[in-house]
A and B are shown apart, each in its own frame.
Chain A
Amino acid sequence: MNCDQFKDSLLTDYVDRVLDPEKQKIADAHIGQCAECRRLIADLRTVTAETFGQVREIEPPAHVWAGIVERVQPSPGWFEKVCAVLTLPRLSIAIPVLASLMLFTFVQLRQPEVSYDITRAYLSRELGGDFGVLSNEDLENGSFGTVIEDFFM
């Protein structure tokens, strides 16, 4: 047997020891005589032992499982999505603050105006004199009844 006759099986069946016993014997005899094939086999065994013999199994980092869970879990419906958004830390603070502001503004706008009669009574009591009692004469003259009102209006 020469190198060409078993070059195809030298780096496969022969090194992996899957040749049938008869062929294995012939190959062993050839390798005993052929320095080139012997060197090829020796080199392959060295490379294989040096590189594959010492490697170990490596565990993935923990976040790989977390990523898998995220991808296989069913996606939430619209209600869950809204709930999730509302429970976000920033929104959970912003929403009550915004609601309070709106409520405050609404209450302010709804405050009843102090009636003219009450103002007039207050000023009369505090300052004395007549404040804004419209007489028929005032109406005829186009006056508002008081000096202040006449000045501003």
Chain B
Amino acid sequence: MQEIATDTLERAGDGDLQAFNEIYRSSAGFVYSIALRMARNTADAEEITQDVFVKAYKNLKAYEGRSSFKTWIYRIAMNTAINFCKKRSAEFKKRELREREPSPGVVSNEAEKNLFKEDAEKKLGELLGCLNEDQRACILLREIEGLDYRQIADVLKIELNTVRSRLKRAREAMIAYARQGGVKDEL
């Protein structure tokens, strides 16, 4: 994600859509990638991305620059994605109980299968599928975005030790999954 000029942020905060488009272009890839890996299907990822930028647009005036813009947008993206996925997950469980559908498993439907056609994305999708939303958020910020523990704690507004415990559990789950042969030819 590129740095965004203060002037651009101010203009966007005043409702200048062209300035907001500059912000969008510099951060849409990151936000969409996070959304895609959290939600694991394109339709939900698009909805999350839209929600993130609508929230950002409406709250830009309130952004005071206490944290970097990158951390601010990371926070909106992650919280939106986590809440969206938890809500979806709860809806799915409710429906599953009602209809006695089989469990979604790691790769639950055709849309997800299409998304993870590429080998690297497929492996990533399978591994992320064995984590809960909170663990997934921590591992994505650490492994893909390269944030340190303090930055992850800031983005997710959680304690440093919570970051550690979520990362540990996520990594244990990933190793267990890979050892069971969940990710082909991996170990």
Q: Chain A interface (Cβ within 8 Å of chain B)?
A: 8, 11-13, 15-16, 18, 40, 43-44, 46-48, 50-52, 54-55, 57-61, 63-65, 67-69, 71-73
B interface SS class:
helix
Q: Chain B interface (Cβ within 8 Å of chain A)?
A: 17, 20-21, 24, 28-33, 36, 45-46, 49-50, 53-54, 57-58, 119-121, 123-124, 127, 142-144, 148-149, 164, 167-168, 171-172, 174-175, 178-179, 183, 186-187
**Cβ–Cβ < 8 Å partners of B164 in chain A:** 8, 12-13
Are A68 and B121 in contact, CB atoms less than 8 angstroms apart?
no
Are B143 and A52 in contact, CB atoms less than 8 angstroms apart?
yes
**Cβ–Cβ < 8 Å partners of B49 in chain A:** 60, 64
Once the chains are docked, how many angstroms separate the CA of A60 from the CA of B52?
13
Once the chains are docked, how many angstroms separate the CA of A13 from the CA of B30?
26
Are A47 and B17 in contact, CB atoms less than 8 angstroms apart?
no
A interface SS class:
helix
A-B contact count (CB 8 A): 99
Are A59 and B29 in contact, CB atoms less than 8 angstroms apart?
yes
Indicate whether A68 sits within 8 Å of B57 (C-beta atoms), given known contacts A11-B168, A47-B174. yes
Indicate whether A71 sits within 8 Å of B50 (C-beta atoms), given known contacts A44-B175, A47-B187, A52-B143. yes
